[in-house]
Amino acid sequence: MLFFRLTWESFRFAINALRTNLTRTILSLLGVTVGIFAIITVFTLVDSLETKIRSSFAFLGTNVMRVDRFPFEGGGPDFPWWKYFRRPTATLSEYRFLSDRIKNAQGVTISASSNTTIQAGSNAFEGMALTGVVHSYQEVYEIVLEEGRYFSEAEIEASRNLAIIGKKIANTLFPNQPAIGKEVKIKGMKFVVIGIFEEEGEGFLELPSKDEACLIPYGAFTKMYYTGRNGLEPTIAAKGLAEDVGLVALENEMTGLLRAKRGLKPTQENNFALNKTEFIQNAIGSIFDVISVAGWVIGGFSILVGGFGIANIMFVSVRERTNIIGIQKSLGARNYFILFQFLFEAIFLSLIGGGTGIILVFLLSFVPLGSLDLILSFKNIILGLGVSSAIGVVAGIVPATLAARLDPVEAIRTT
C-alpha cells in the first residue's frame, strides 16, 4: 500500500510541475506533437489509400483463379510477350468442360467485357462497362443488388435480352423514376432492366465500378460482339474452396483439365496462365509496406527532435528542483519516489504531445480528399500513444535516475 501511495504522490508532483511551468510544458511537447502528427498522418493516409485501392480491385474477386494468356507476374525487357500472345484464348467449350468436371471449386464462370453506350429515350450513358455472363457468375463474384433480381438459369440459356445496371446508369437514364422493368438500348438491341447494383460510390484510380457497369446474358453479348482469337477475349474464372489455402488443389486440377482439353502432350509446356487475384492484392500490400517504412523515417526525425527537447527540459527541471529533492530525501523519500516524479513528468509531456498530434490527425480526417476517405484507425491511435510513451521513458529515464541518486545533503546545499 505504501508503494502505491508513494507512486500516487509522485504522479501528483509531476502534474503540479507541469502546471507550474505551463509555457515550458507547451514548448516541450511541440516536438512530440509534430512527430506523432507526421507518423500517424502518414500511416493513416497509407491505410486509407490501401483500403480504397483494395476495395477498387474487389471486382477481381477473392480466392479466384483466372485462365488468361498472359501471367500477372513478369514484365521487363526480357518478358517473352510474343510467346504468350500466340496462345489460344479461353472458349465457351472449355468453360463447360471445366464446369462439368472440376471438384475443387465453388463455381466456374466465363465472361467477356467491353465499354459501350447505353440509351433510354433521349438519355444516354457513355463508357459503360458491359459484361456478358453465365448463371454461375454469381458463384464466383459477389453480386449485391439494391433492387430487382439476378438472371435465372433459363434466361441465361435462352440468351434473353435482360440487363442488370449500375446505380449511376439508372439515375442517368431514368432520373427520379424507377428503372426496373424499363427498356434500354445497347448497340441497337433492346434490353429490359431486371436489377440494379447496390451503389458503391465514387470510383478510385479510374478502376471499374459497379455503378457504371451492366451485366447481360453471355449469349446476348455474343450477338453484339465477336469473342475469341480475333475478337474480345473471354475470361474463365473459378472460385476456390475455403479450405484450399493458396488455391493449390484448384490450380493443380485446372492445369490437368485444361491440358487434357487442349490436347497438350506431357513434354509440351502450358499454353495458358492461371492467375490468382491475390497476386494483385499482395503486390499492393508490398508497395504500401515500403511506404510505411518511409513514414517511419519521415516521422522518426521529428520524434527524435521532440525526445531531445523533452530530455533537455527534464535536465533543467532536475537542476531547478534540486533543493526540493534534497528536502524530500531528508524527510525519508525513497529513490523510486524521486525517480517516478521525473519519469512521470517526461511520460506525461510525451503523451500530451502525442495525444495532441492524434487529435490533429483526427481533425484532418474531416478534410475532403476527393474519393479518398481518411479514417483514423484504433490501431494507429494505440501506435501513436505507444510511441509517445516510449519516447517519454527514453527521454526521461536518465534525468530521473540522476535526480534519484542525488545526495540529500549536497542537494539541499545547492543554490
Q: What is the pLDDT of residues 252-264, one digit of tens each?
A: 999 999 999 999 8
Q: Which amino acid is at 105?
A: A
Q: Is 370 exposed, middle or buried (0-12, 13-18, 19+ CB in 10 A)?
A: exposed
Location of C-alpha cell 479466384: 64
Question: C-alpha cell of 184?
Answer: 434500354
pLDDT tens column, 61-119: 678 888 988 887 766 666 667 777 888 889 999 999 999 999 988 899 999 999 999 99
- For the ranges 15-29, 36-50, 148-162, 163-177, the lowest mean pLDDT is seen at 15-29
Location of C-alpha cell 424499363: 182
Q: What are phi and psi of 117, to 5 degrees?
A: -110, 140
What mean pLDDT is reported for the chain? 81
Q: What are phi and psi of 361, to 5 degrees?
A: -65, -40
Closest CA to 387 of 313, 311, 296: 296
Alpha-helix runs per DSSP H in 57-86: 81-85
Asked if pLDDT for residue 12 goes beyond 80, the answer is no
Closest CA to 306 of 392, 229, 192, 213: 392
State percent of the chain over pLDDT 70: 83
Question: C-alpha cell of 143?
Answer: 453480386
Question: C-alpha cell of 376?
Answer: 483514423
What pLDDT sits at residue 158?
94
